[in-house]
Amino acid sequence: MHKKPNAQYNLADPSSLSVRLATRVRARMFAMFMSEFNPTATDDVLDLGVTSDESYASSNYFEALYPYKNRITAAGIDDASFLSNIYPGVRFQFADALNLPFDANSFDYVHSSAVLEHVGGYANQQRMVGECLRVARKGVCVTTPNRWFPIEVHTQLPLLHWLPKPWFRSLLDWRGHHELAMEANLNLMTESELRRIAALHPDWAFHFRAGRVLGWKSNIVLFAAKKV
């Protein structure tokens, strides 16, 4: 039977082991953000790509964990306005990651988790990273699942996503996962692809870290700091 993905384009049950592991990995990536940038109570932060999904413990983890909630602008294409009620001080705004409705240098930091793989093809992914850099004054953190992790995190299927992308999409479509078979909804990335995007922005200093599960690199974490 065809199972429709949730607002995070994920098929995993909220009580599944994979979701529990993802929650731990996201907590570690949040700790990386805090240690990399050491933000203060006066820094403005854009969390790009908040979700309307409330079924996962790690949904909108940044808003849950960040200590200075009155400095967060939570933005995305889903209606996540409920975040302002759950976390007083958080401001929600509808925003397209490919065309952000903010002026240049509007925020000290931009954070975006597990959004980059959902904006379409490589050109769109390049554009999203550029938009994050455009509106940031100090730093950017973007995370995305690693295509070379052996389990595809949205479908829980092993290894098939290592096939050429058109083959993988055809298999997803054949299995009834029509939404996830569309490049506009799911386009997994590798670190080498992200490094090519980083090379287009010489005014920023980039480095990469990883979220890991059992030693495997499950998530790529891109950090960018504006050069002075």
Report whether pLDDT(28) > 50. yes
Going from the N-terminus, what domains does the chain have, and what CATH number goes with each? 17-226 (3.40.50.150)
Size (the chain), residues = 228
Give the pLDDT confidence score for residue 98 in this predicted structure: 98
Mean pLDDT over residues 14-33, rounded?
92
Asked if 138 and 108 touch (Cβ cutoff 8 Å), the reply is yes
pLDDT of 218: 97
CB 19 within 8 A of CB 12: yes
Q: What share of the chain is helix, strand, coil (3-state, %, to 5)?
A: 30, 25, 45
pLDDT tens figures, 40-87: 999 999 999 999 999 888 899 999 999 999 999 999 999 999 999 999
Task: Look at residue 23 and give its three-state secondary structure.
Answer: helix
pLDDT of 142 over the 60 cut: yes
How far apart (Å, rounded) are the C-alpha atoms in residues 75 and 93? 5
Smallest CA-to-CA distance from 155 within 108, 119, 117, 122 is with: 117
**Residue 126: CB partners within 8 Å, gap ≥ 6?**
197, 200
Q: Find tokens 């209606």 and name the residue.
A: 79
Token pair belonging to 34: 């805090």
- H/E stretch holding 138 reads strand 136-145
Q: What is the pLDDT of residues 186-199, one digit of tens each?
A: 999 999 999 999 99
Mean pLDDT of the region 216-222: 97
Q: What is the mean pLDDT of residues 188-215?
A: 97
Q: How deeply is 84 buried, as exposed, middle or buried, from its count of CB atoms within 10 A (0-12, 13-18, 19+)?
A: middle
State the pLDDT at residue 1.
44
> Would you say residue 184 has pLDDT above 50?
yes
Provide the pLDDT for residue 2: 58
pLDDT at site 17 = 85
Radius of gyration of the chain (CA): 17
